[in-house]
């Protein structure tokens, strides 16, 4: 009887129970039901409150999108402009007048963007940083164009009024006297990056090498001319004005006072015509008048100022700009800047004597000798020994042109001065 009862027991036909597996299966089913239940609850929640969520999304986008397009993107665009590289490749200031110049400016800009940026026309104002862009000295008009990669932009031979003379004089003074200065540029324009429109502000200082007080200035091929030309010119030479910068300046005709050494004693005047300073060394002919009478009248001061230079076999000349004229017009800003900068050069006494003696024997005029002076110092024909050298200079005592120069001088003193000069020349 007992054996037959088992088949009526609930679960009796399942065999042995596996507690661990059964528990895991139970929990998995419970978790699945719970996850499904949460998703269903969330769906029901969203269906129930969809209107609230829609309104919240609209409010969020209404706030976020204007901020993104009006604040974030312009800020990113402005940051790109601020971080961009800008280099001056070439700059020319030509045809100066009292209140205008013709300007050429070429710059390289790299926005470091893969796609191009289209710019509206813009005026870049050149200014001195200490004075601010509101006191800009020039406005450079750039046409609208698309900038991409390492791009060149600029203007060529643009007539540019001088907007602020004080700022312009400051910039010219810095360009002449400093080793390096800043070309400060400011401009506001609209740029298009694809369909996005943004306002850009360019406010940059571009460092450029400048004239550095004409370091390396020299006077070479100096020659005293006897007799003097009809205009009184009795001195010719070549001057070299170095320009280590990428800037080019058309200056004009420079009139100079020539002073002895570092004194204020003016011993002559000179003119250098048609000066244009381009990158590199610039050499120009100089024509002038040396006042021998003034030198003799102030001989003690001249010798005192020339002592250190004479011991090195040279004469020290200081050239001071008195005026600069271009196309018949006085250029005050160049006159002021370059005139404040004395240019000192040591002139070889030996070269002066050799060139002067050769010229005295050649009978050339100043005009005839200009081309020869550009090619280098004049050389005497054949070797000159001590006796010949002394005789050539000593013979000047009998030259009528020399006698005319020293006509107010005691003949014995004149001959003694020439003999001393002959001895010095023969010892070279």
For residue range 311-324, what is the model confidence (pLDDT) as tens digits?
787 889 999 999 99
Percentage of the chain lying above the pLDDT 70 cut: 61
Q: Which CATH class name applies to 213-358?
A: mainly beta
Instruction: Average the pLDDT over each of 64-78, 176-190, 407-421 and give the range with the smallest value.
Output: 64-78
Residue 165 has pLDDT above 90, yes or no: yes
* Contact by Cβ (8 Å): 275, 254: yes
Residue 40 has pLDDT above 90, yes or no: no
* pLDDT the model gives residue 229: 81
Residue with more model confidence, 253 or 402: 253
Contacts of 69 (CB under 8 A, 6+ apart): 196
Residue 371 has pLDDT above 90, yes or no: no
* pLDDT the model gives residue 368: 53
The model's pTM is 0.70
H-type alpha helices, 153-209: 165-177
Tell me the pLDDT of the chain averaged across its residues: 76
Per-domain residue ranges of the chain: 81-210, 213-358
Most confident of 119-128, 162-171, 223-232, 286-295: 162-171
* pLDDT the model gives residue 188: 84
Residue 375 has pLDDT above 50, yes or no: no
Residue 234 has pLDDT above 60, yes or no: yes
Residue 338 has pLDDT above 80, yes or no: yes
**148, exposed or middle or buried, with CB in 10 Å at 0-12, 13-18, 19+?**
middle
Residue with more model confidence, 44 or 244: 244
* pLDDT the model gives residue 202: 79
Residue 246 has pLDDT above 60, yes or no: yes
Residue 166 has pLDDT above 90, yes or no: yes
Phi–psi pair at 155, nearest 5 degrees: -135, 160
Q: Sorting pLDDT into bands at 50, 70 and 90, what band is 376?
A: very low
According to CATH, what is the number of the domain 81-210? 2.60.40
* pLDDT the model gives residue 228: 77
Residue 228: DSSP 8-state: P
Residue with more model confidence, 110 or 243: 243
Output the CA torsion sign for 71, 72, 77, 83.
positive
Average pLDDT over residues 16-22: 52
**198, exposed or middle or buried, with CB in 10 Å at 0-12, 13-18, 19+?**
buried
The helix or strand, by DSSP H or E, that contains position 193, with its residue range, turns out to be: strand 180-193
Average pLDDT over residues 28-49: 61
* pLDDT the model gives residue 321: 95
Percentage of the chain lying above the pLDDT 90 cut: 33
| CA–CA distance, 230 with 287 (Å, rounded to integer) | 13
**427, exposed or middle or buried, with CB in 10 Å at 0-12, 13-18, 19+?**
exposed
Most confident of 26-40, 59-73, 123-137, 357-371: 123-137
| CA–CA distance, 377 with 21 (Å, rounded to integer) | 113
- Measured CA distances, 269 to 220, 414, 422 (Å): 17, 24, 26
In this chain, the answer to whether the domains covering 81-210 and 213-358 adopt an identical fold is yes
């Amino acid at each position: 009887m007992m054996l037959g009862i088992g088949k009526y027991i609930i679960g009796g036909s399942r065999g042995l129970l596996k507690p661990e597996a059964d528990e895991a299966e139970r929990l998995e089913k419970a978790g699945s039901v719970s996850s499904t239940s949460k998703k269903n609850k969330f769906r029901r929640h969203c269906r129930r409150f969809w209107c609230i969520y829609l309104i919240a999304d609209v409010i969020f986008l209404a706030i976020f999108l204007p901020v993104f397009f009006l604040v974030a993107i312009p800020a990113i665009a402005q940051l790109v402009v601020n971080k961009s590289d800008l280099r001056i490749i070439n700059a020319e200031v030509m045809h100066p007048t009292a209140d205008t110049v013709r300007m050429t400016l070429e710059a390289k800009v790299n926005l470091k963007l893969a796609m191009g940026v289209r710019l509206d026309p813009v005026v870049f104002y050149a200014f001195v940083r200490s004075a601010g862009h509101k006191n800009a000295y020039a406005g450079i008009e750039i046409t609208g164009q698309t900038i991409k990669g390492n791009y060149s932009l600029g203007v060529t031979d643009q007539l540019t009024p001088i907007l602020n003379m004080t700022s312009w004089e400051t910039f010219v003074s810095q360009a002449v006297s400093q080793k390096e200065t800043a070309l400060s540029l400011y401009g506001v324009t609209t740029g298009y990056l694809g369909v996005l429109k943004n306002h850009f502000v360019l406010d940059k200082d571009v460092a450029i090498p400048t004239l550095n007080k004409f370091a390396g200035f020299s006077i070479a091929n100096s020659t005293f001319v006897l007799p003097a030309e009809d205009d009184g010119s009795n001195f010719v030479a070549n001057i070299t004005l170095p320009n280590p910068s990428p800037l080019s300046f058309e200056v004009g005709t420079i009139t100079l006072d020539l002073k002895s050494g570092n004194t204020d004693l003016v011993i002559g005047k000179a003119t250098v015509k048609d000066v244009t300073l381009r990158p590199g060394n610039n050499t120009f002919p100089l024509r002038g008048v040396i006042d021998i009478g003034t030198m003799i009248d102030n001989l003690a001061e001249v010798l005192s100022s020339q002592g250190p230079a004479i011991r090195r076999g040279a004469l020290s000349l200081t050239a001071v700009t008195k005026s600069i004229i271009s196309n018949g017009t006085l250029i005050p800003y160049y006159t002021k800047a370059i005139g404040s900068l004395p240019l000192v050069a040591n002139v070889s006494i030996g070269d002066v004597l050799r060139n002067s003696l050769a010229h005295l024997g050649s009978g050339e005029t100043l005009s005839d000798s200009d081309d020869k002076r550009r090619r280098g110092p004049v050389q005497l024909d054949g070797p000159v020994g001590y006796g010949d050298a002394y005789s050539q200079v000593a013979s000047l005592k009998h030259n009528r042109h020399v006698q005319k120069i020293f006509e107010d001088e005691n003949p014995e003193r004149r001959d003694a001065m020439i003999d001393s000069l002959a001895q010095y020349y023969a010892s070279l």
